[in-house]
Amino acid sequence: MAVVTYKSSTGTKTVTESNAQVFKGFSTQQGEFKSAKLYDIELVKQDLFNHFNIRKGEKLENPDFGTNIWQYIFDPLDIDTKNAIIRDIESVVNYDPRVALDQIEVNEYEHGVQVDVLLIYIGYGIKERLNLLFDQNQGLMVGGSTVSATT
């Protein structure tokens, strides 16, 4: 029987075979083609990262897909820019039915914008804080993340 366990400071969340590996996919992002399979939460995160890496207008036949955050990293981070980034983050997260948005925090970063997002994985009862760094020189970088089971 397949069992997936997520450990956190608030306890342990176990997912059994009946709902393990609900989402299946693959990624060649790391250049490892032998182990390119992704499942469940890792797949959802990779899909979100891919969505954040696409600028609006770049995807063929779907010019509204993607994000405009990349054009905001050169602007001063005033209230209007923060609100535009928050709307963009909400749009990307709401596009994916496998996650729900709990919190967003936008801050200045040395060479771009830092976005702290608290996600809830639907069907798993797991919250995860993602630290996304939109860097003008290095692209999207993902900072540390914390996984916790919801109560």
Per-residue pLDDT at 16 exceeds 80: no
The identity of residue 51, as a single letter, is H
Sorted by where each starts, the structural domains of the chain and their CATH numbers stand as 41-149 (3.10.450.40)
Q: Which residue has the higher pLDDT, 58 or 14?
A: 58
Per-residue pLDDT at 13 exceeds 70: no
Contacts 24+ apart (CB under 8 A), 78-82: 82/106
Of the candidates 142, 141, 148, the one whose C-alpha atom is nearest the C-alpha of residue 130 is 142
Per-residue pLDDT at 146 exceeds 80: no
pLDDT (0 to 100) of residue 110: 85
d(CA 123, CA 94): 15
CA geometry: angle 15, 21, 27, nearest 5 deg:
135
pLDDT (0 to 100) of residue 22: 53
pLDDT (0 to 100) of residue 149: 66
| Pair of tokens at residue 35 | 């182990």
Q: With cut-offs at 50, 70 and 90, classify the pLDDT of residue 7.
A: very low
What is the length of the chain? 151
Mean pLDDT, rounded, for 81-106:
96
Give tens-digit pLDDT for 24-57: 444 444 555 455 577 678 888 999 999 999 999 9
